[in-house]
């Protein structure tokens, strides 16, 4: 999912997406230890999805603080 698509979602939806990707990455690490994996590029894809989701979440939280009248630092 692209960052623009994520920004259009609500914070709970992005949080759920992040949780799902983190669980999937953990399962992939376990599978790699148990047997071989054909699609090793999935590690890179999942790590980037997680980073993208965290970036969008942080941005949405900062925007929420600014809208509430709090200073973002």
How confident is the model over 48-62, as pLDDT tens digits? Answer: 999 999 999 999 888
**Which residues span the domain enclosing 57?**
3-67
The answer to whether residue 72 is domain-embedded is: no
The answer to whether residue 56 is domain-embedded is: yes
The answer to whether residue 58 is domain-embedded is: yes
Count of domains forming the chain: 1
The answer to whether residue 1 scores a pLDDT higher than 60 is: yes
Q: Identify the residue whose tokens are 């799902």.
A: 20
The model's pTM is 0.81
pLDDT of residue 69: 62
The answer to whether residue 10 is domain-embedded is: yes
Contacts of 6 (CB under 8 A, 6+ apart): 14, 17, 52, 53, 56
pLDDT of residue 64: 81
> 7-38 burial by CB neighbour count: b if 16+ within 10 A, else e?
eebeeeebeebbeebeeebeebeeeeeeeeee
pLDDT tens-digit profile of 5-41? 888 998 899 999 999 999 999 999 999 999 888 888 9
């Amino acid at each position: 999912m692209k960052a623009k698509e994520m920004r259009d979602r609500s914070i709970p939806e992005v949080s759920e997406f992040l949780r799902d990707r983190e669980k999937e990455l953990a399962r992939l690490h376990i599978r790699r230890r148990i047997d071989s994996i054909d699609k090793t590029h999935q590690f890179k894809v999942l790590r980037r999805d997680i980073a993208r989701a965290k970036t969008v979440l942080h941005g949405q939280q900062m925007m929420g603080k600014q809208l509430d009248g709090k200073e973002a630092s």
